[in-house]
Structure 1
């Protein structure tokens, strides 16, 4: 069965690039342009993994992550934060919120693919 990934980013260009790359790798992709839409899609699509930007309109990526990790139904979904916020403090906050990986933009495709693979390997155990 194909793994489902939700990509959440308010930058349409990044969203489309990541979507194309992951579709070529065989993943089923859902997208959201803001935090509110992301929370709806988490409930409706039941993704196997979420790629989440921190800076989002309506509901921030931090709030989205917090809500997902506090919900018993969604708390085990791996989250990869992919963001332009690149300070050590930002990464610590991301990890405290429950992110499994913290990647910064500009995006390194190989790093992202490795993070996805690692998240799925951990879930298989």
Structure 2
């Protein structure tokens, strides 16, 4: 059975390329640009990994990561945060994420980090 990945990014171009890349790598992918209802998407889709953009309108991906990690049964769910706006990406680990990818990013780096976290 394919591993499931939820992608949340308000940049449609990034969303499309990450969705296409991970689908090609045989993951089941749910991609959304909506920053509301994410908790419901997580509990409904039950992903093996979440990739979330740091900047999502009125909330940041780090705060959403914290909310997800507080859900019963999702404490150990791997989360990758994308960011183009943080001067010190290591600070993002304070939110509880498992990896950080700086934008712009290399697709090989993305695939490697995803595979390391879900396998």
**Alpha-carbon distance in structure 2 between the residues aligned to 1:37 and 1:58:** 13
**Alpha-carbon distance in structure 2 between the residues aligned to 1:15 and 1:6:** 11
- Alignment counterpart, residue 110 of structure 2, candidates 98, 112, 119: 112
Q: Superposition pairs for residues 1-125 of structure 1, below 5 Å? A: 1-88=1-88, 91-121=89-119
Higher strand share: 2
SS at 1:36 equivalent: coil
**Alpha-carbon distance in structure 1 between the residues aligned to 2:37 and 2:58:** 9
Aligned length: 119
Higher helix share: 1
**Alpha-carbon distance in structure 1 between the residues aligned to 2:45 and 2:4:** 8
Q: TM-score, normalised by structure 1?
A: 0.88
> Per-residue deviation at 1:13?
0.7
Runs (4 or more) in structure 1 with deviation over 4 Å come to none
What's the C-alpha RMSD, in Å, of the aligned pairs? 1.3
